[in-house]
Amino acid sequence: MRASLLQIDVRPDEQVAARRSRVAALVREQAGADLVVLPELWPVGAFAYQDFATHAEPLDGPTAQAMGEAARAARVWLHAGSIVERTAPEGSDAEDGPLYNTSLLFAPDGELHRVYRKIHRFGFDQGEATMMAAGDKIVTAHLAGPGTTIGLATCYDLRFPEQFRLLVDAGAELLVIPAGWPERRRAHWSLLARARAVESQAYVLACGTAGTHAGVEQAGHSVVVDPWGEVLAEAGPGEETLTVEFDPARVAKTRAEFPALRDRVLGLPRP
Ligand SMILES: O=C(O)CCC(=O)C(=O)O
């Protein structure tokens, strides 16, 4: 299986529409890959809170349309990172319901196949945590073609192992994590990506952004880790396409040869 992670530079001097066209062209160039992955909130920038409402869009908005067309043109599964999703309030056509940090997965025919709304919102009492609603669904998707199941999580979710346990229980063999992770905590990013791979005995494909937006320098260093915790490929700090080939069957092999997941003790009483 071949995967390409597109570590996009979210430059503040580039308009959202221009970045959307540029990224769509980059996705089209990935024909031949099985899976292409984009970072979190790359159209607007994960820390550009003041721009979230302006650039919020529905599930059939301009980013979804451009990404669906690009996936179809390249004939790839496309995890298009996330958008600021604008929803309609219950029973209304108006689009002034809650905002979500929503990941979009497109099939090679360009159809929107899955949506994942970020569960753990970042910012404590500010930013995303106050401006967006939280998702409450664990999301996996079986990729016909490569014949493997991916589990979806976004950025700050990486810090919450209980979410990854649920993804593994739901059959995930590849954990796909778009992010806008800051340089200040790059050591956590690298460590947690490997930790989630080792404890889940799964591949981790973690795709971050490059550059600086809203004054926050991004870590870059997108990474692909195998089920044994070995780093298969790692990007540098700048914009980069990270392409890697791997065998999804290694997940079952690792889990059979070193059956730590089988040895879990569930339902321990709280002290
Ligand atoms: O957990 C972190 O250090 C970064 C999380 C983050 O930036 C995000 O979820 O947008």
pLDDT tops 90 at residue 89: no
pLDDT averaged over the chain?
96
Cα 214 to Cα 237: distance, rounded to the nearest angstrom: 17
State residue 194's pLDDT score.
Answer: 98
Residue 270 in domain:
no
User: Given pLDDT bands bounded at 50, 70 and 90, which one contains residue 94?
Assistant: low
In 3-state terms the chain splits into helix, strand, coil percentages (rounded to 5) of 30, 30, 45
User: Given pLDDT bands bounded at 50, 70 and 90, which one contains residue 100?
Assistant: very high
Average pLDDT, integer, range 89-110: 87
Average pLDDT, integer, range 20-48: 98
Residue 131 in domain:
yes
Q: Which atom number of ligand 1 is nearest to the Cα of residue 158?
A: 1
* DSSP code, position 265: -
Q: Over the stretch 228-253, which tens digit does the pLDDT of each residue have?
A: 999 999 999 999 999 999 999 999 99
State residue 106's pLDDT score.
Answer: 98
Distance of CA 150 to the CA centre of its chain: 11
User: Given pLDDT bands bounded at 50, 70 and 90, which one contains residue 88?
Assistant: confident
Q: Which atom number of ligand 1 is nearest to the Cα of residue 122?
A: 9
Residue 271 in domain:
no
State residue 151's pLDDT score.
Answer: 98
Residue 262 in domain:
no
Residue 123 in domain:
yes
State residue 18's pLDDT score.
Answer: 98
Percent of the chain with pLDDT over 90: 95
Q: State whether the beta carbon of 264 lies less than 6 angstroms from ligand 1.
A: no
Q: How many domains does the chain contain in total?
A: 1
Q: Which two tokens stand for residue 137?
A: 């669904």
Domain hosting 134: range is 2-257
Full DSSP string of 106-158:
E-TTS-EEEEEE-SS-SSTTSTHHHHSPPP----EEEETTTTEEEEE--GGGG
Residue 266 in domain:
no
pLDDT tops 70 at residue 7: yes
Average pLDDT, integer, range 58-87: 97
Average pLDDT, integer, range 5-26: 97
Pocket test for ligand 1, best of 49, 152, 155, 212 (most atoms within 8 A of CB): 155
User: Given pLDDT bands bounded at 50, 70 and 90, which one contains residue 97?
Assistant: confident
Q: Which atom number of ligand 1 is nearest to the Cα of residue 181?
A: 7
Q: What spacing in Å lies between the alpha carbon of 183 and ligand 1's midpoint?
A: 10
CB 196 within 8 A of CB 151: no
Average pLDDT, integer, range 13-35: 98
Residue nearest to ligand 1 atom 3, measured at CA: 185
**CATH of residue 104:** 3.60.110.10
State residue 93's pLDDT score.
Answer: 65
Q: Which of 118, 128, 173, 207 is catalytic?
A: 118
Q: State whether the beta carbon of 122 lies less than 6 angstroms from ligand 1.
A: yes
Q: Which atom number of ligand 1 is nearest to the Cα of residue 40?
A: 10
Average pLDDT, integer, range 172-198: 98
Q: What spacing in Å lies between the alpha carbon of 130 and ligand 1's midpoint?
A: 14
User: Given pLDDT bands bounded at 50, 70 and 90, which one contains residue 96?
Assistant: confident
Residue 227 in domain:
yes
Query: Is residue 58 helix, strand or coil?
Result: coil
Q: What spacing in Å lies between the alpha carbon of 94 and ligand 1's midpoint?
A: 31
Q: State whether the beta carbon of 185 lies less than 6 angstroms from ligand 1.
A: yes
Q: State whether the beta carbon of 49 lies less than 6 angstroms from ligand 1.
A: no
Write down the pTM of the prediction: 0.97
Residue 269 in domain:
no
